Amino acid sequence: MGMKTIFYFLLMLIPINAISQEDRTVSVRGEGVLKIKPDIAYLNLDLMTRAKDAKSAQSQNAQEMDRLMKKLKNQFKIDSKDIQTVNFSLQPNYRYDKNGKQIFQNFQVNHSLTIKIKKIDTLGSILDQISIGGDEDKSLQISNITFDTDKRTEYELNALESAMKNALNRAEALAKFSNTKIAGVRRISDSTINYQPYRAQNVRSFGKMEMLDAAASTEIQAGEITVNTNVAVEYDLK
């Protein structure tokens, strides 16, 4: 057997892990959480009117809506582009007598809006002054109020930056325990962002919409918006 043959034979007997150094890495998850003060609010409301004929029901709804729009635009300086119709419906209402016979009652119109309010400190006054005087055939219901921000993208990026710093701190701590150091990022495998605007609960809604006491004042707490981010990062070790 020649010397070259013997060399190759001995080389094949050497364990593979002895001739190729295994990668030295550490994998961690980082978390970033931001609590943000809202700077805008979305008010959802529904204006309902009833009448014996469809034309009257629509006409009364239009009159009340016009009055509401003038108050929002003139008194509270809300732009038309910040008021959006999200639903409009016209339907007949019926009741049943003791014999099960269907009896027509009236026509009902519902006009639902979403209003973007840029000055949160005016929200209480708006709620106090958008009431309509009337009877059971007219009502204005406030379904919910959501507090949000116009800087969502900026805050999400800030939360991601915080998550990456958290991941690095964890990785450095693990590296220190193993008597080594972080060399750099090998890969970021995934990241998630959970954005939670604050929604006010138990918002006052009005039934027959009797005029509110002028001395009454509604206070709404804006709460906080939560942005929660997670990243999975793999680092090379020195």
Share of the chain above pLDDT 90, in %: 62
According to the model, what pLDDT value does residue 14 have? 38
- For residues 153 and 96, membership in a common domain is answered with no
State yes or no: pLDDT of 186 exceeds 90: yes
Average of pLDDT values for 28-57? 94
State yes or no: pLDDT of 74 exceeds 80: yes
- For residues 90 and 139, membership in a common domain is answered with yes
- For residues 165 and 179, membership in a common domain is answered with yes
- For residues 48 and 140, membership in a common domain is answered with yes
Residue of 163, 141, 195, 149 whose CA lies nearest to 41: 149
Task: Give 138-177 pLDDT, tens digit per residue.
Answer: 889 888 899 999 999 999 999 999 999 999 999 999 999 9
What CATH number has the domain bearing residue 140?
3.30.70.2970
- For residues 64 and 104, membership in a common domain is answered with yes
52 assigned to some structural domain? yes
Cβ atoms of 142 and 199 within 8 Å: the answer is no
N-to-C CA span, the chain: 43
DSSP state of 211: P
- For residues 223 and 189, membership in a common domain is answered with yes
Distance between CA 111 and CA 136 in Å, rounded? Answer: 16
210 assigned to some structural domain? no
Distance between CA 191 and CA 95 in Å, rounded? Answer: 55
